[in-house]
Amino acid sequence: MAPSRTARLLLLVLLSLLLSQTITAFSGQAKVYAQTGTSLVQIVPNASTMTTLAYDPDVIKVVIGVNNTVVWRNNDNVAHTATGSNFTEFTTGNINPGASGSYTFNVTGTFPYHCVYHPNMAGTVIVRAPSTTASSTATSRSGGIPEFPLQAAAVTIFTFLITVSYFFVRKSNGAE
């Protein structure tokens, strides 16, 4: 006994939805979401002889609840820190060569920082509150900003409409 037309339609719709979600997941969108929570700043080689170029990027914008943990990775051959300008706002503590230090920002504002060992090294963290336009207002080279998955919704709706249209055309042509 062959499955009914309704059962075939339901199966095709479900397979289409599964396919569209799989395509979306492998389109890079899932990778972006996996990075949510952190932003990366590199401490470049020979940073102690530099100023604003010692931290890359030297100005980073983050959004609370999105990418507000900043990780500083030391690519230099001497120890460094990332310490708020007034010494009480934040500090990563000592970051040895090849190691990383981090700080999670939970208050909005602009936070200039420097290395306590090399005060000429300077950077800034700009912390913003979450909003509906967070993805366009807070960007960083680390790429940790997620975007609302409109692509997934669009692909799902488009796939559903194509599937339903196909069956209506078949029905109007007399096929079952």
- What's the average pLDDT block by block, 10 residues per block, for the chain (176 residues)? 66 62 48 55 93 91 91 96 85 95 92 94 93 48 45 66 70 64
How high is the pLDDT of residue 146?
A: 42
Pick the CATH number of 34-137 from 2.60.40.420, 3.40.50.150, 3.30.310.80, 2.60.40.730: 2.60.40.420
Answer whether 53's CB lies under 8 Å from 40's CB: no
How high is the pLDDT of residue 134?
A: 42
How high is the pLDDT of residue 124?
A: 94
Cβ count near 159 (within 10 Å) = 19
How high is the pLDDT of residue 18?
A: 58
- Number of alpha carbons in the 13 Å side-chain half-sphere of residue 112: 8
DSSP-derived secondary structure letter, 49: G
- Give me the residue spans of the domains in the chain: 34-137, 147-176
How high is the pLDDT of residue 144?
A: 42
What is the distance between the alpha carbons of residues 71 and 102, in angstroms, rounded to a whole number?
4
How high is the pLDDT of residue 131?
A: 79
How high is the pLDDT of residue 79?
A: 96
| Residues contacting 165, CB < 8 A, separation 6+ | none
Cα-trace Rg, the chain: 25
How high is the pLDDT of residue 58?
A: 93
